Amino acid sequence: MNDAHFMGLALQQAHIASTEGEVPVGAVVVCNGEVVAQAHNAPIGLHDPSAHAEILALRAAAETLGNYRLDDCTLYVTLEPCAMCAGALLNARLKRVVWGAPEPKTGAAGSVVNLFEFPQLNHHTASHGGVMAEEASALLQDFFKTQRQHHKQDAARTRLREDALRTPEQRFENLPDYPWTAQYISDLPSLHGLRMHYLDEGPTDASVTWLCLHGNPGWSYLYRKMLPIFLKAGHRVVAPDLPGFGKSDKPKKDSAHQFDWHRQVLLEFIEALDLQRVHLVVQDWGGLLGLTLPMAAPQRYQGLLVMNTTLATAEKPLSPGFLAWRQMCADKPLFDVGRLLGRGNPQMSDEECAAYNAPFPDAGHRAALRAFPAMVPEFEDSEGAAVSRQAEAFWQQQWTGKSLMVIGQQDPVLGEEVMRDLHRQIRGCPAPVLLPQAGHFVQEHGVEVAALALQHLA
Ligand SMILES: [Zn+2]
């Protein structure tokens, strides 16, 4: 007799689900006239394919009652249970399930199959459907309609590829010292529709374009201290986020990240923006990839600012520092990016550290972080090794631009020893500038570095 009352509570739970972007289904468990559990659908939020309202409600009820068998209980759910949930209800020996709207595609209480009427499976649970079905289906229809509208709006912006993720905009709101307008490009052939983010500030006909390339696990945020100084000099600054980083789309599969692919994306990006009079600014992977770019179009480049990085030619074994980093990434794939930055840069605020975590809300968004350490060419025939050796020859023999090397001496991975090796490969590069207080992320001392770069290069 209270079925409508309890179904009303389940509908309230369904409402909550829809405000959280989950398919609106709610459930309550009632035992001897008392509500012992309420829950709503949450597979997206919990990253859990089994987090249907019924399962969560059953778990909570069993916890409350201290018993995994719920013989005296009734579960109210706004939508016909699926096979998984029907199975769980039967396992709980539930007395009764009362459901709202039928689910023609997956319903396991009569629409597709009826698990409650298999005598071999069920001696316990009675099923009663159609209670307040109209309210429940109206909620579902509204939800899917709104979702279709949102998808349409998204598609109008740039459709997100099925095999990629896009970090929600809100995660980038109010970042300290990052006021620049987001620019996007998705029509580079090698992007296959992935949306790539970049900053492009200053006049397009400026006498100098600073092309600033970040590494792993950074993004264009790394250059926030250098940008204003270059802009003040009247120059243009272009700072892309590599696919998988920053505000760019993030392929779901680690294997999407390959040396040649990232290099090709950057080559096409530079062509598409037709960058001229480029001063290339590189650090970490920004250099592993970026130092291989100028030989493809030397006429575009006139300067190089190189900070802690290397050319991975595989002519020497990888350094112990790098191997330790690669092992750390393999052992702790969810390491805190902000804390990593903060450890070497005590001058950074908590908000600045947090900004480095902004692109990566969960493990799904971290494919690039997992893939990049293993992508460093290790053997002569590794992808990227041959092109890195060609680049080495280019810097040794053909480079005619100005160069400046700045070394953060506290870097255990790509520090002074590695950089002095690289220095020998760059034709005409004056003695490196040493920053004793700087670590791997030299850009965090960007005010000083940008001033040096203006002085030496521009
Ligand atoms: Zn289910």
**pLDDT one-digit tens code per residue, 198-236:** 999 999 989 999 999 999 999 999 999 999 999 999 999
Q: How far is the CA of 40 from the centre of ligand 1 (A)?
A: 11
DSSP line for 276-323: -SEEEEE-THHHHHHTTSGGGSGGGEEEEEEES-----SSSPPPHHHH
Output phi, psi for 228, to 5 deg.
Answer: -60, -30
**pLDDT one-digit tens code per residue, 300-354:** 999 999 999 999 999 999 999 999 999 999 999 999 999 999 999 999 999 999 9
Edge to edge, what strands does the sheet with 126-128 contain?
A: 34-40, 26-31, 73-79, 96-101, 126-128
Look up residue 319 and give its two tokens: 């350094």
Active centre residues (catalytic): 284, 411, 440
Q: How far is the CA of 81 from the centre of ligand 1 (A)?
A: 5
Cα torsion for 187, 193, 194, 199, to the nearest 10°? 20
Q: How far is the CA of 97 from the centre of ligand 1 (A)?
A: 13
Predicted confidence at residue 85, as pLDDT, reads: 98
**pLDDT one-digit tens code per residue, 261-314:** 999 999 999 999 999 999 999 999 999 999 999 999 999 999 999 999 999 999
Q: How far is the CA of 253 from the centre of ligand 1 (A)?
A: 27
Q: Report d(CA 125, CA 144) in Å as an integer.
A: 31
3-class secondary-structure state, position 99: strand
N-term to C-term CA, the chain: 83
DSSP annotation of 207 reads S
User: What pTM, to 2 d.p., does this model score?
Assistant: 0.68
Q: How far is the CA of 43 from the centre of ligand 1 (A)?
A: 10
Q: How far is the CA of 57 from the centre of ligand 1 (A)?
A: 11
**pLDDT one-digit tens code per residue, 410-437:** 999 999 999 999 999 999 999 999 999 9
Q: How far is the CA of 80 from the centre of ligand 1 (A)?
A: 8
- Cβ burial of 381 (10 Å; 0-12, 13-18, 19+) is exposed
What does the chain come to in residues? 458
